[in-house]
Each structure stands twice: as structure tokens, then as C-alpha cells.
Structure 1
């Protein structure tokens, strides 16, 4: 009788601990699946912008670059004052080309800069 009680207690403990371990594994798998889904949903694209109205490197080019870099969905932005061009890498699922152009055109109330041409960039 005493052995039967011990066997039942051991069986219940074994059942309890084995069910706890499986729950943790399930959470890990869900977390990994979520990370993989987030990685595969990015639609990275690059565009080149020809920008009119820049008069200096620090005040103009860096300002445009900074504003673009802060936008949600923009991965990187580089603006070259000498060439009057910028290259923007962005996630097309989060921001559109039109929205990127509007960001530049609306800096300083829309009076200073204008994107006059866009093209795909490699």
C-alpha cells in the first residue's frame, strides 16, 4: 500500500514536470516563427532622388538626410551636395516613394527643396 502511494506521487510529479517543459518549447517555437515572419515581410528598395534647391552641404544636404533617416520605413539615406542627389533605401511596405518625395519637398515649409526626378537605384 505504501509503495502504491509512492508510485502514484512519483507518476504525478513526472507528469507535472514533463508538461511544464513542453510549454516552454512551444513558446520558443512561436517566438522564432514570429522573428522569421518579420524578417521576410520587408520589401527593401532603393531610389535615387535629384534634389533642387540645396545651397550648402551641412545646412541643406545634412538636413535632408537627417529628415529622411528619421522616417518610419527608411533604412538609410545618403545625400550628396555636390551631385545634388540622394539615395534612399526603404521598406516599401512601410513608406512609399511618393511619401519620401513629400518628406523632402515639405522641409522648411516646402519653400526650399524640390525633388525633380526619381529613379530606381542599385
Structure 2
């Protein structure tokens, strides 16, 4: 049974599109163009529907491939079916679709560590702020923002959260300031909406 190439193509495209909002930040970081990281964040609300569509398309393709056929005069043509109509090809496409669909859950492995040796002379120089950020949709967004902020001198801690829509940052105010941190966020393509000082809990 020939597998419809256009159906498989639709399945692959939808699998990639479902995770595009998380793939883009990684590609942007690798390419050194973090400003495009938020380019496809608008796709995130469609992710569940794209994943469902992917499952349905691949399910139909497997049904077409595996369903029993009556032997007829076309049997010789079936024997000549090439690689692109084979179960092996469909299996590879399915694996690729799964890998793409699950990308948000392992994307963090592509981000380099931002750990830097930092000597704080005075504890009183450490300032803690909370930045409200627009556009984050998944963990890859968090990693992009943390990486960008972490490139600044004097950063002690950066913890972005797409669920809360903010980033908690601790820094040495003798080496950087909240304005520079906001600029680092905005460079990624996400938008720093507002910044406020956090109360010192110590």
C-alpha cells in the first residue's frame, strides 16, 4: 500500500510547528542572533492542536500501511514499492515526529552553562529584582533569557519562569544595573515590561 507522501509531509510539518516556539530560541542562540528567539512564540497556543493533528496523520498513515489488502492484479506493483513507500521510511518519519514533538522537554541540553566565577566584595552590593517579561511560552524561553542575562558582569543569579512570566535576578550593583539587565532581556526578542526590587528575605 502506498503511503501518501503529502500526508506524511503534513505530519512532519505539524510536528515541527508544534515545537517551533521552543526550537527557534535554540537556533537563535547557536546562530548568535538571540533577537529572533521570540519570533514564533505566537504558535504556542496552537501546540496542543498541532500535536493532535500529528498523531492523527501518523495514525492514518500507519493504518494505510498495515491494513490487510486483498491480493489482486496490482500485486506486482506493490512488490516494486520503493523505500519511500516502505514501513521503514514511515517508522523513521514517526521517530522524527516524536523527537520534534518532545523537543521542549530536552531543549535545555543545547544551552551552554552560564556559570561564572564571581567574587562579591560586599554583601550589601547584591541587589535582587523581579522583571515581568512578555512572550515566554516554554522552558526554552527561560533558558534563552537566563543565558542572555548571564552574559553580563556581576550576575549572581538569574531564574526566569515562563509560568510566572518573570525573571528573578540577583546582581552586584557595582558591576551592572537593572537597566542593562532589561536590555539583555529585550535583546532576546522577549519584552521586559516592568522591574521592581524584591524584598531581602535575609
Query: In structure 2, how many angstroms separate the alpha carbons of the residues matched to 1:94 and 1:49?
Result: 18
Which 5+ residue runs of structure 1 have no aligned equivalent?
A: 1-37
Distance apart, 1:57 and its partner CA: 1.6
Distance apart, 1:69 and its partner CA: 1.9
Matched, 1:121 2:198: yes
Moved beyond 4 Å, runs of 4+: none
Q: Any idea what SS the aligned residue of 2:145 has?
A: helix
TM, length-normalised to structure 2: 0.37
TM, length-normalised to structure 1: 0.60
Higher relative contact order (CA 8 A, sep 6+): 1
Q: Max radius of gyration: which structure?
A: 1
Q: Aligned ranges for residues 1-122 of structure 1 at < 5 Å?
A: 39-40=121-122, 43-58=125-140, 60-107=141-188, 112-122=189-199
Cα separation, partners in 2 of 1:41 and 1:79, compared to 1, 3 Å: closer
Compute the RMSD of aligned alpha carbons: 1.7
Aligned residues: 80
Contact 1:42 / 1:93 at 8 angstroms: preserved in 2?
no
Query: In structure 1, how many angstroms separate the alpha carbons of the residues matched to 2:172 and 2:163?
Result: 27
